[in-house]
């Protein structure tokens, strides 16, 4: 296993509002860089330990909408160079 593989893979960007978090992940493909987003809700369990969940309640939804919007904006802003090069090269939309 290489040193790079041993390093913990971390998101390239995170957005958090209260207990809701979006993590943006960067993936290289033969078509260029692609971004994926994972969403989590943070909470403290009965033993006082921080945990995460991918389930969201009614009151989480406005925060979820905000973090998704900001994650989308970040990807759009940081994907423009790849988008322009890829579209010019292959004439395929991003």
Domain boundaries, the chain: 3-88
Find the mean pLDDT for residues 64-68. Answer: 97
CA 9 to chain centre: 13
**Region class of 18: left (phi > 0), else alpha (psi between -120 and 50), else beta:** left
pTM of the model: 0.74
* pLDDT above 90 coverage of the chain, percent: 65
What would the two tokens of residue 8 be? 């913990």
The pLDDT of residue 72 is 97
Is the pLDDT confidence value at 86 over 80? Answer: no
The answer to whether the beta carbons of residues 83 and 94 sit under 8 Å apart is yes
Give 60's DSSP letter.
G
Who contacts 46 (Cβ-Cβ below 8 Å, separation ≥6)?
A: none
How would residue 80 be classed by pLDDT, with cut points 50, 70 and 90? low
Find the mean pLDDT for residues 70-94. Answer: 64
11, containing H or E segment: none
Q: Where are the alpha helices (DSSP H) in 12-93?
A: 61-90
What's the whole-number average pLDDT of the chain?
84
10 or 92, which is more confident?
10
Q: Which of 22, 20, 17, 19 is nearest to 74 (CA)?
A: 22
Q: Which of 3-7, 8-12, 56-60 has the lowest mean pLDDT?
A: 3-7
């Amino acid at each position: 296993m290489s040193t790079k593989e041993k390093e913990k893979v971390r998101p390239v960007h995170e957005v958090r509002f209260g207990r809701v978090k979006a993590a943006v992940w960067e993936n290289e493909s033969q078509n260029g860089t692609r971004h994926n987003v994972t969403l989590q809700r943070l909470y403290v369990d009965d033993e006082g330990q921080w945990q995460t969940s991918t389930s969201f309640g009614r009151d989480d939804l406005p925060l979820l909408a905000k973090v998704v919007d900001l994650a989308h904006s970040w990807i759009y802003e940081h994907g423009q160079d790849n988008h322009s090069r890829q579209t010019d090269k292959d004439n395929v939309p991003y």
